[in-house]
């Protein structure tokens, strides 16, 4: 596979979609990001990374971080976390309170905000410092020791984080948090604020394409656990548009409102695409188009 040629063609295809959609404006620090950026990278299972466009420009990972926190919890807890969070698509917006009322404080899946808060809470219990643990892990897997939190984004999220605080307090009222709410949401905001490029994220997600093996060859997850994370990414990773995304792209993926999407071709490679303009569901317009074209060109999907 000539990855570079494929990426250049995908980037050219996606260019007309760049600038479409709306840059996330409910987090003021994200609203300042230019909407005309586009990057794409692919990391093969041997760790070689190829890219096109703005593939080395850092951006806020936001909800993409939820994939890594879930992996770190499963690496320590195996299947126990599923007693506190479900694995079903939500069908409601990622920050909805409604289903928690119906389902006694147990979030539908780990990729909506409520579910991610439960995962962060468990990672905090396991490590004593959930956000720093994730940052160190991402530095190691990406091979980029300079990865860092973005203070302005973390502060901005904290200043506009009432909905997430409400989710956390509501779950705490049902006994589904182990740590104090302020600590959980603080670490959650720090995780979301990490800045990474397409190159960094494609490399860091490689363990999901390698069936649980880290960049250094050590095992983070059993193959069945990596399979299960990929399955939940496919069904729940793109908010309440997961069905449409699976129909178009056919790959496990996790998106973030910073405009990034990480997608996995098990046994072959991991991709990351970034363009800040979002559709009404919070997914990158140009990013989804690019991944659709990638699977069309290569014939690589899980279907």
Catalytic residue positions, numbered: 63, 66, 188, 239, 257
One DSSP character per residue, 68-84 reads: HHHHHHHHHHTTGGGGT
* Residue 166: Cβ-neighbour burial (10 angstroms; 0-12, 13-18, 19+): middle
Which residues in 27-57 are b (16+ Cβ under 10 Å) and which e?
bebbeebebebbbbbbbbbeeebbbbbbbeb
One DSSP character per residue, 273-292 reads: EE---B-TTS-BHHHHHHHH
Q: What DSSP state is assigned to residue 22?
A: B
If one counts every other C-beta atom within 10 angstroms of the C-beta of residue 280, the result is 12
Structural element, H or E, at residue 12? helix 3-14
Beta bridge partners of 271: 42, 263
Task: Give the orientation angle of helix 223-236 with respect to helix 65-77, to 10 degrees.
Answer: 150
Q: Measure CA 122 to chain center.
A: 18
- 8 within 8 A of 277, measured Cβ to Cβ: no
Beta bridge partners of 273: 40, 261
Q: Provide the 3-class DSSP secondary structure of residue 142.
A: helix
- Nearby residues of 87 by Cβ (< 8 Å), 6 or more positions away: 109, 231, 232, 235, 236
């Amino acid at each position: 596979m000539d990855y570079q040629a494929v990426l250049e063609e995908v980037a050219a295809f996606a260019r007309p979609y760049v600038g479409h959609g709306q840059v996330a404006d409910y987090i003021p620090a994200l609203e300042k990001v230019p909407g005309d950026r586009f990057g794409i990278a692919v990391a093969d299972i041997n760790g070689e990374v190829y890219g096109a466009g703005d593939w080395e420009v850092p951006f806020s990972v936001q909800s993409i971080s939820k994939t890594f926190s879930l992996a770190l919890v499963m690496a320590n807890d195996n299947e126990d976390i599923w007693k506190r969070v479900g694995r079903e698509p939500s069908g409601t917006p990622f920050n909805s309170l409604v289903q928690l009322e119906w389902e006694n404080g147990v979030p539908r899946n780990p990729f909506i905000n409520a579910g991610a808060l439960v995962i962060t809470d468990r990672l905090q219990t396991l490590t004593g410092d959930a956000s720093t643990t994730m940052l160190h892990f991402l530095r190691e897997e990406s091979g980029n020791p300079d990865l860092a939190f973005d203070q302005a984004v973390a502060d901005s999220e904290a200043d506009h984080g009432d909905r997430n605080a409400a989710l956390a307090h509501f779950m705490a009222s049902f006994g589904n948090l182990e740590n104090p709410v302020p600590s959980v949401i603080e670490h959650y905001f720090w995780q979301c604020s990490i800045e990474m490029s397409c190159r960094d994220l494609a490399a860091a997600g490689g363990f999901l394409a390698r069936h649980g093996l880290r960049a250094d060859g050590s095992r983070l997850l059993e193959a069945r656990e990596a399979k299960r994370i990929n399955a939940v990414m496919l069904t729940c990773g793109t908010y309440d548009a997961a069905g449409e995304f699976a129909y178009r792209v056919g790959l496990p993926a996790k998106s973030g409102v910073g405009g990034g999407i990480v997608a996995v071709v098990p046994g072959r490679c991991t991709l990351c695409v970034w363009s800040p303009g979002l559709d009404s569901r919070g997914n990158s317009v140009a990013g989804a188009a690019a991944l659709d074209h990638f699977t069309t060109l290569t014939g690589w999907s899980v279907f």
